Amino acid sequence: MNTITAAITAVGGYVPDFVLSNKVLETMVDTNDEWITTRTGIKERRILKDADKGTSYLAIKAAQDLIAKANIDPLEIDMVIMATATPDMMVAATGVHVATEIGATNAFAYDLQAACSSFLYGMSTAAAYVQSGRYKKVLLIGADKMSSIVDYTDRSTCIIFGDGAGAVLFEPNYEGLGLQDEYLRSDGVGRDFLKIPAGGSLIPASEETIKNRQHNIMQDGKTVFKYAVTNMADASELILQRNNLTKEEVSWLVPHQANRRIIDATAGRLDLDESKVLVNIERYGNTTSGTLPLVLADFEHKFKKGDNVIFAAFGGGFTWGSIYLKWAYDKK
């Protein structure tokens, strides 16, 4: 085949050492392990405690893990896409710093922000660059230091989020493997239901915004849950229908790890056996842009060449979608 498809050829991941368990959260806010586990499926999450380290640190670690495992020369990387909702700082793109620090000095880099759908959208972008024939090695990193924007007095959000990062390498494939189809959507109706109100151009930082905790993530949990369940499931079901895939032909579902009940609802809509649904939310919580690649890093040993893998995500804005990818290699 002469047609170029874009395939994932390597993965890497990183989570910080510090574990914030439900038991510890019980001492911080009015909640308990049973309540958190029943409603979210989360038992613990990892937190980057170092005050002088940001999202870039997580991203660098994940990228270095990929580079070491795949034994690739960073100088061969053509571009770096940094999917994140928590950049190190405004204006100076975090991905640029990450690319330099990992030695990818021949690459150009930039950030991509679509909340929890950032990595999913990044997959589409990375694949398009490769399929164009213009670039050979595109490194896509999903990373977030969610602890930097969480209010640990707000029990509705602090129980959900954790810190972590994952990375994948997209390269040309001539066997028809890699990204097959995508269904990506967005709807501005979600602007007020999941957000950080202050810190942008609309409400710049001030003494008042800090006092009012407007720089922390806020969400209307019930509304977000309703939209997430419906749209993740709808997008995934549509991808199967459009590609004439039966539930038997689906090898794995890689869902965004926001809430176990959302994951179960998406799998239920597709009528997939539980053994095909990859879940690590109990250990990491919602790492936002890091969830999808961390699932790949944790379960890489399960994937076989030719496996049909369905990705699904939902994020603030609202943003959501599903991607169908054929896995391109067996882990050595």
What amino acid positions are annotated as catalytic residues? Answer: 116, 256, 286
How far is CA 197 from each of CA 35, 44, 194, rounded to the nearest angstrom? 28, 27, 9
DSSP SS3 for 161 = strand
Sign of the C-alpha dihedral, residues 17, 23, 24, 30?
positive
Closest CA to 287 of 4, 31, 58: 58
The DSSP bridge partners found for residue 141 are 82, 167
Distance of alpha carbon 49 from alpha carbon 46, whole angstroms: 9
Closest CA to 171 of 140, 138, 141, 142: 138
Those residues whose C-beta lies under 8 Å from the C-beta of residue 239, and which sit 6 or more positions away, are 181, 182, 183, 245, 310, 322, 323, 324
Rg (CA), the chain: 19
**Burial state string for 214-227 with b = 16 or more CB within 10 A and e = fewer than 16:** bbbbbbeeeebbeb
**Running DSSP on this structure, what letter comes out for residue 114?**
B
> Is residue 194 within 8 Å of residue 219, measured between CB atoms?
yes
- The CB-side HSE value for 45 (13 A sphere, CA atoms) comes to 35
Q: What is the distance, to the nearest Å, from the Cα of residue 110 to the centroid of all Cα atoms in its chain? A: 16
Burial label for 204, CB within 10 Å (0-12, 13-18, 19+), is exposed
